[in-house]
Chain A
Amino acid sequence: MSLEFAYYPGCAAKQIQREADWAARAVCQQLGIRLNDMPRASCCGAVSLRETKPAFAMAVAARILSEAEAMGRDLVTICNTCLQTLSQANYRLQNEPELLEKINAVLAEGGVRPYQGKIQVRHLLWVITEQVDPHLLRSKITRPLKGMRIASFLGCHSVRPVEIYAHSANEENTPHLDQLISIMGGVPVNYTGKDRCCGFHVMLSDKEEVHAMAAKNCLSAKDAGAQIMITPCTLCDMIMGSSQELAAKTVQRTIDLPEMNFAQLLGLAMGLTKSQLGISRLHVDPVPVLSKIGLA
């Protein structure tokens, strides 16, 4: 069975966190997963549009879901917030027939094909750990991580609220990242910050608090022995990785915990090149850690 999806990387992966998109495409090519671009898809509205314009937010999400449905594919993303926003809308549109009807009437005003509620919203991480043939996945790990200690930072929006993710994940049993770490030959690290928040959505308004959160969570991973941190979310990447140095300044401690998107580390374990995976764009240089196990 070939795996083929409507691919929705999200705004961050198209702009600041482009390396996550490169890595996602590269590992999918290795695994025979086809990612079809969605030229009509807009920004999902993230957490904000549902606050400013709730009905418009629902219509924007339905229009994206409808495009994937017209392509005949489930939608796959690499951003936790896109995942939650679209899953939440999908959950309601699939369970509230009256709402679906109302929103389709709104879509018709813009000449958009009605959504029939037939597709699923998936995270690429779930696809890789649940849908890809495990033998194929294992066979692609040509540069195993040799017991490297890895902290998985789950990111709020791929695990909560449980209600909308009941089919695939829940906060107390979120095996995907740790499973992948084991498959890659790494050792998952247990630490208290694992299921906490990166703070991205208040990074401009409550900056000091966000830096305090990032510092606390990175340090708890580091204190538990993590050599590297991975996340399934381009927004978490932006805080835990790109802003880590700024966060460290607020707590007046060095953190220096290399952080990257899960797809980048998977790409490295598959023997893909650093430039293909945008490793040089990372703010905390992972090369010293990677070279210890001959990966860089």
Chain B
Amino acid sequence: MSAQVYIFRIQRNMPGQVGTVQSHWQEYSVEAEPNTTILTLLEVIKGQQDGSLTFRQSCRSAICGSCAISISGRTRLACKTHVGAVARDGVVEIAPQKNQPILRDLAIDIRPFFARVHGIKPYLQEGPEKAGKVTSTAYDQVNHVTQCIMCACCYSECTMAEVNPDYIGPAALAKAFRFVSDPREGKKTERLRELSEPNGIWSCTRCTMCVDVCPKEVAPMEAIVKLRTRGLDKGYGDSAAAKHALAFHEDIVKSGQLNEFTLMMRTLGIFGSMKETAMALHLAKKGKIPSPFPHSIQGVEELRKIYASLERTPVDVETKAKQAVPE
């Protein structure tokens, strides 16, 4: 591989009057081998072309999490990303992380992200559920979560955080899962109750974005899925989203098919359904009224037997960190 010229299209941001930023795009060209990191090239630009360019960095080895920026449309660690892998027709577009206030150029104010992490109480608490013994397999579930370096790549791309600034977000929820799963934690149930409240585990859209952007294979959404399972097991199934989830196995055991007609009513309750009338009428305009009696599939009794057997003899199918993390 040989050196080539890359164009860096960088979003420059300057603080204006209180709470505003002035943005424009500025282009720089640099010559580099394709396997040079973006961070190295930002340093070249700053050192040789424009000393005013502001960005964060520290460890240079994907450990500290400070260099996370948007590179070619995805939030990534600048020190772990090779220019050749992200350039499109020789151009690399660089911008700050999303969903947090911009300070200057590529530097953002990361406090909102950390406020959420601190909000889940990221420490062990004394309490009645603290186990005296810790087995050798106790951390199989959480080893991948503890690799989180708090870079906020996931939060920057989270599709729910984009529209709801109160959403706890992927990294903080993954961290919460680590404490719910730790045998030494004394208040596991209390945590699950709090996490089941609005803006918590049930607000995740399941878009899977955080799984793909995380540079440390933390797979936050998988932790959220497991928190939901554990929350439901503790009886925290009152929210609309939890009821919606619960409707699925009832329908599958009953007819094999999802009943879209009653799904809405069961999820929202009768008053909720009335609030949904606008939606129902809107769908009805186009004749989109699902049948209240979908046909049963053939062999639905097989599913009932399988369900009954699993209720009698549970089978553990959850992924363990060993499988989840190839490192």
Contact = CB atoms under 8 A, between A and B. Distances in A.
B101 to A, nearest CB: 19
Given A59-B310, A213-B159, A52 B283 contact: no
B258 interface: yes
B244 A204 contact: yes
A216 interface: yes
Given A11-B260, A106-B310, A160-B207, A206 B245 contact: no
A4 to B, nearest CB: 21
Contact of B246 (A52, A58, A109, A199): A52
A143 B282 CA distance: 32
B225 A50 contact: yes
A51 B223 CA distance: 11
Contacts, number: 202
Nearest to B287: A281
B252 A42 contact: yes
Given A15-B294, A172-B74, A51 B207 contact: no
Contacts of B306: 56, 59-60, 63, 106-107, 109-110, 112
A196 B300 contact: no
A179 B88 CA distance: 18
Interface in A43-90: 43, 45-56, 58-60, 63, 84
B162 interface: yes
Interface in A197-222: 197, 199, 201-202, 204-206, 209, 212-213, 216
Contacts of B240: 204-205
A200 to B, nearest CB: 8
B205 A96 contact: no
B178 interface: no
Given A63-B306, A204-B244, A246-B278, A16 B288 contact: yes
Contacts of A197: 159-160, 205, 207, 209
Interface stretch (B7-15, B38-46, B118-126, B316-324): B316-324
Contacts of B285: 283
Contacts of B304: 110
Interface bracket on B: 35 or more
A296 interface: no
Contacts of A171: 74, 212
B278 A201 contact: no
Contacts of A41: 256, 297
A97 interface: no
A205 B202 contact: yes
Interface in B279-308: 279, 282-283, 285-288, 290-291, 294, 297-307
A245 B229 CA distance: 34
Contacts of B282: 242-243, 245-246, 283
Interface residues of A, number: 67
B25 to A, nearest CB: 15
B310 A16 contact: no
Contacts of A246: 278-279, 282
A45 B241 contact: no
A43 B257 CA distance: 5
A295 interface: no
A56 B307 contact: yes
Contacts of A162: 212
B206 A11 contact: no
Contacts of B205: 156, 197, 199, 201-202, 206, 213
Contacts of A283: 282, 285-286
Interface centre among B73, B159, B164, B310 (most CB of A within 10 A): B159
Contacts of B72: 172
Interface string A246-285: 1000000000000000000000000000000000111100
B97 interface: no
A285 B306 CA distance: 45
A63 B159 CA distance: 32
Interface centre among A192, A199, A245 (most CB of B within 10 A): A199
B56 interface: no
B298 A39 contact: yes
Interface in A1-37: 11-12, 14-17
B297 A42 contact: yes
A160 B222 CA distance: 13
A42 B258 CA distance: 8
A84 B219 CA distance: 16
Given A60-B252, A213-B162, A55 B314 contact: yes
8 contacts: A48-B245, A50-B225, A92-B319, A110-B305, A161-B212, A172-B74, A281-B286, A283-B285
5 closest residue pairs by CB, A with B = A205-B241, A160-B208, A42-B256, A197-B207, A110-B302
Given A11-B258, A43-B256, 4 more contacts: A53-B249, A202-B203, A202-B206, A243-B279
